[in-house]
Amino acid sequence: MATIAPPAIARILLCFFVLARVCASTGSQPSVDDSQNFFDVVEYGAVGDGRTDDTKAFKKAWTDACKSSASVPIMHVPQNKTCLLQPLVLRGPCNSQNLTIQIDGTLVASGDPSAWKCDKKDCRHWIMISDVDGLSVLGSGAINGNGSEWWDHSLCHHHHVGCGKKPTGLVIDKCNEVRLSELTFKDSPQMHIAIEGSTRVTAANLTITSPGHSPNTDGIHIQRSQHVVVRDCYIGTGDDCISIGQGSAHLDISGISCGRVTAIGSLGKHGSRETVEDVHVRDVHFVGRQRIREDIVFERITVTNSSHPIIIDQFYCDHEHCKNQTSAVQISNVTYSQVNGTSHAKAAVELACSETHPCRDILMKDITLNLTVKGKETTSHCSNVRGRRNSNIFPNISCLEEDEDL
């Protein structure tokens, strides 16, 4: 026969259950079950007035979104909110492999370098996303690094935060299957986006801007990463449009409009030996100066008023105390096809390679580069270059052997 608890005991058990539910529902952040899929940073305490530090709210929202078992958890920054953030790391691994960070408002960094809360006064990043597989970062919003004061510290001595190493805006670190899309990035203290040690990353329909005088503000830097697609972006910064570092392979770059100073490069710094493989660049519009130094294919490229439409430069150096050292960069199998436009410098093609390691297998076909000033013609300069060209080349590049089979 079943026993029945006395009424007093039943009331005590019921009150304990109700009290437990009340206690569980109180606190500074919403109660979360493992299947919840929407994590609005405002609900976690973000004020979004551009003055209040919202970093803690972002960390709480990320923690819950990352551990959620929902099929597509979404961490959301709503429109009309401007969230001030200190240096922030959003670290995985996460339960879902379809996690989304949707930014429809604005993320902004402090404009005062001394106000940044950096580890050991070393600010290497502003926002880092690390060890996450299956991530989308998208939205109609903006990521504003507020970097003008950092740029003014470029030549200062290492006395305080703001001197020396400047932070990258957004770092995608050791992640797989990542999509960045639709966002606007502006005024990063240093590089705007860095993709490091990651695979299968797509960056599409991004707008990345900073003033022409802002130093080292590369649009997108790719390093030690494979299978990266960059397409349909506008990038106009004070430095490289897209820079590629060592250990990168299988890169597909297309539909890019590059304003101001532009480049695809950055190999062989400090004399190191570095490798980049299988890079394909096509349908790109360059405006301004460009530096290109990789083992890649350029096709269907348009240049407008460029100071150097085509350059291979083994003597290039973008840091202090440079030495005339060329052994680190061995260039071969570079193809330029269907490159057209205008140059405001008379020497539209400059191929400067070393005697120790000549540039080999440089192929050029269907190239027309006219001088911006009418009535004059462009020229070319090359040294220590071996390769082939077809007859449809202007200006003439005499160091390349003519081959109509190209």
Cα 250 from chain centre: 16
State the pLDDT confidence band at 276, using cuts at 50, 70 and 90.
confident
Element (H, E) at 23: helix 7-25
Q: How far apart are CA 253 and CA 55, in angstroms?
A: 34
Phi, psi of 16 (to 5 degrees): -65, -40
What is residue 404's predicted lDDT score, i.e. its pLDDT? Answer: 84
What residues contact 401, with CB distance under 8 A and at least 6 apart?
Answer: 387, 388, 389
What is residue 5's predicted lDDT score, i.e. its pLDDT? Answer: 46
**Mean pLDDT throughout 137-166?**
76
Q: How far apart are CA 65 and CA 55, in angstroms?
A: 15
In this structure, what token pair is assigned to residue 78? 């709503």
What is residue 366's predicted lDDT score, i.e. its pLDDT? Answer: 96
DSSP assignment of 154-189, as one string? TT--SSSBTBSSPPEEEEEES-EEEEEES-EEE--S
DSSP E strands in 2-73: the ranges are 38-40, 49-53
Segment 82-91, tens digit of pLDDT: 999 999 999 9
Q: How far apart are CA 337 and CA 168, in angstroms?
A: 33
State the pLDDT confidence band at 280, using cuts at 50, 70 and 90.
confident
Q: How far apart are CA 379 and CA 105, in angstroms?
A: 49
Element (H, E) at 63: helix 55-67
Give Dmax over CA atoms of the chain in angstroms: 110
DSSP assignment of 374-403, as one string? TT---EEEEESEEEEE-S-EES--TTSEE-
> Picking from 194-198, 268-272, 274-278, which range would have the lowest pLDDT averaged per residue?
268-272
State the pLDDT confidence band at 15, using cuts at 50, 70 and 90.
very low
Q: Residue 247 region, left (φ>0) first, then alpha (ψ -120 to 50), else beta? A: left
56 close to 87: Cβ distance less than 8 angstroms: no
Q: Which amino acid is at 405?
A: D
SS3 (DSSP) at 107:
strand
Q: Percent of the chain having pLDDT more than 90?
A: 58
What is residue 172's predicted lDDT score, i.e. its pLDDT? Answer: 98
Segment 31-53, tens digit of pLDDT: 555 557 999 999 999 999 999 99
What is residue 260's predicted lDDT score, i.e. its pLDDT? Answer: 55
Give the bridge partners for 128, in sequence order: 89, 171
DSSP assignment of 274-296, as one string? --EEEEEEEEEEEES-EEE-SSE
State the pLDDT confidence band at 30, using cuts at 50, 70 and 90.
low
Q: In 3D, which of 3, 19, 1 has the Cα closest to residue 11?
A: 19
**Mean pLDDT throughout 2-14?**
42
> What rounded mean pLDDT belongs to the chain?
83
Segment 325-360, tens digit of pLDDT: 545 467 888 999 999 999 989 999 999 888 888 889
Segment 351-403, tens digit of pLDDT: 988 888 888 999 999 999 999 988 899 999 999 999 999 999 999 999 999 99
Residue with tokens 């030996």: 273
What is residue 28's predicted lDDT score, i.e. its pLDDT? Answer: 47
343 close to 306: Cβ distance less than 8 angstroms: yes
State the pLDDT confidence band at 16, using cuts at 50, 70 and 90.
very low
Q: pTM of the full predicted structure? A: 0.81
Cβ-based burial of 59 (10 A; exposed 0-12, middle 13-18, buried ≥19): middle
What is residue 29's predicted lDDT score, i.e. its pLDDT? Answer: 53
